Amino acid sequence: MGNAQNTKQSNKLSLTSPALPRGSEVWANAYPSGLSAAKLPFGGKSSNCIGSKVSSGSAGSSVRPEPGGESRANLIVELREARVSKGWSRKVMAKHVGVSPQTITRLEKGVGTVSTLVAVMDSTNFMLTGLSAGKTLFEKLRNTRIKHGKSLENLVRRTGLSQTAILDLENGAGSVEDLLRLLAVLAPRARRQAPARAYWALGQKEDRDSRFTPPDFMDNIYNAFGEIDLDPCAHKLSPVLARRKILASKGGDGLSQTWSGRLAFVNPPYSCALQWLRRAHEQWSAGHVATVVCLVPVRTDSAFFHEVLSLDADIFFLKGRVKFLKPDGTAQQTPFSLMVLTLGANAEQRARYAQLAAGFWSRGRQPNDTDL
């Protein structure tokens, strides 16, 4: 992200200058001679472009740099990456948000309404860092301005926006272009918060899911919950002790085969953990297993978690990170937090586990519970 720099350098910057300063008020791209503003990012008008107000003509033409061009471009790129990372096309994204695919295309060029932008951010879990605390993006903008002692007059002068436009943004209205201009001055380091990783690495799925629960961790499971009758997602290299193991390497499939026994332990492939949690709840609800203990990443954003697991499951949030075993015998610490999610565990089992492991229990809600 570009840093905001309140310099008073000359506003006569040559397009062919070998070293153009980069900052929210003195940055401009060294575009080739004759490149029109219509060809620049953020749409057709020069006011939507990085390094806007570029005068056409030969090399040596002067420019009036626009605030935060680089950071604005990065935010738009990150918005598109958030969509792509979910495997959504613009058409799918449009359906989720309730707009046309053309609206998403324009938004990913920095053109559109703030209300659409917020809807897209919500649907992709796109969170901004670098702003003051607040319940909404607009509240964060206002709180950031107040925290840094920025008057409306100051922002009008530095952003080129009208006072009305800034107030609109602080009240949930306005355009994406205006929001990006305001962020470039008010919070030049604002960027997308790194999404939580639910799996191990960026390599092949088979590799990133090949991590095994360490024996010392399993000792606490055995001592608190008893002997394991079933490991439905077992691996031939896993040290988990279970009377019955469903091994994919031998044609088994814990997502389709019926589970059985008093206690099932589930440490699933984290790239598809939600699928295994659904299966665990299904088999427990059907009475095929009395108790299920799952070791999974702390992911509470799904509707299934809020509508089902929050009612039926008791969850132990582990303190610190767990070191898992790799196929070569070495250990690797998880790049994410873990929780032990249980279905059907009794009070005695939960109490024993709390004595053995560092963390705390969060009990499942009852269907008739109401928020205070």
Task: Answer with the one of 141, 172, 194 that is the final residue of a domain.
Answer: 194
Angle between helices 347-356 and 215-225 (to 10 degrees): 150
Cα(353)–Cα(139) distance, integer angstroms: 42
State pLDDT tens for residues 87-106.
788 998 899 889 999 999 99
Cα(307)–Cα(302) distance, integer angstroms: 9
| Predicted local distance difference test score (pLDDT) of residue 365 | 66
Is 327 part of a structural domain of the chain?
A: yes
pLDDT band at 107 (very low <50, low <70, confident <90, very high): very high
Is pLDDT above 90 for 117? yes
Is pLDDT above 90 for 67? no
Shared domain check, 170 and 59: yes
Domain count, the chain: 2
Q: What is the CATH number of the domain that holds 273?
A: 3.40.50
pLDDT band at 235 (very low <50, low <70, confident <90, very high): confident
Cα(329)–Cα(239) distance, integer angstroms: 11
| Predicted local distance difference test score (pLDDT) of residue 210 | 61
Query: What would the DSSP string read from start to end of 235-258?
Result: -TT-----SEEEEGGGT--TTTSP
pLDDT band at 2 (very low <50, low <70, confident <90, very high): very low
Shared domain check, 179 and 54: yes
Shared domain check, 260 and 123: no
Q: Which residue has the higher pLDDT, 81 or 279?
A: 279
| Predicted local distance difference test score (pLDDT) of residue 339 | 95
What is the reported pTM? 0.47
Shared domain check, 284 and 148: no
Shared domain check, 326 and 222: yes
pLDDT band at 288 (very low <50, low <70, confident <90, very high): very high
Is 367 part of a structural domain of the chain?
A: no
Shared domain check, 294 and 274: yes
The residues pairing with 247 across neighbouring beta strands, listed in sequence order, are 234
pLDDT band at 226 (very low <50, low <70, confident <90, very high): very high
- Please state, rounded to an integer, the average pLDDT across all residues of the chain: 76
Task: Answer with the one of 138, 159, 194 that is the final residue of a domain.
Answer: 194
Cα(122)–Cα(183) distance, integer angstroms: 19
Q: Are 277 and 296 in contact (CB under 8 A)?
A: yes
Query: What integer is the mean pLDDT of 118-133?
Result: 86
Shared domain check, 169 and 106: yes
Query: What integer is the mean pLDDT of 168-186?
Result: 92
Residue 89, Cβ neighbours under 10 Å: how many? 12
pLDDT band at 245 (very low <50, low <70, confident <90, very high): very high
Q: For 221, list phi and psi in degrees, rounded to 5.
A: -65, -45
Is pLDDT above 60 for 215? yes
Query: What integer is the mean pLDDT of 44-72?
Result: 37
Shared domain check, 211 and 190: no
Domain range for 52: 1-194
Shared domain check, 313 and 244: yes
Q: Are 85 and 195 in contact (CB under 8 A)?
A: yes
Q: Which residue has the higher pLDDT, 162 or 9?
A: 162
Query: What integer is the mean pLDDT of 285-296?
Result: 97
Shared domain check, 229 and 326: yes
Shared domain check, 189 and 84: yes
| Predicted local distance difference test score (pLDDT) of residue 100 | 95
Is 372 part of a structural domain of the chain?
A: no
Is 261 part of a structural domain of the chain?
A: yes
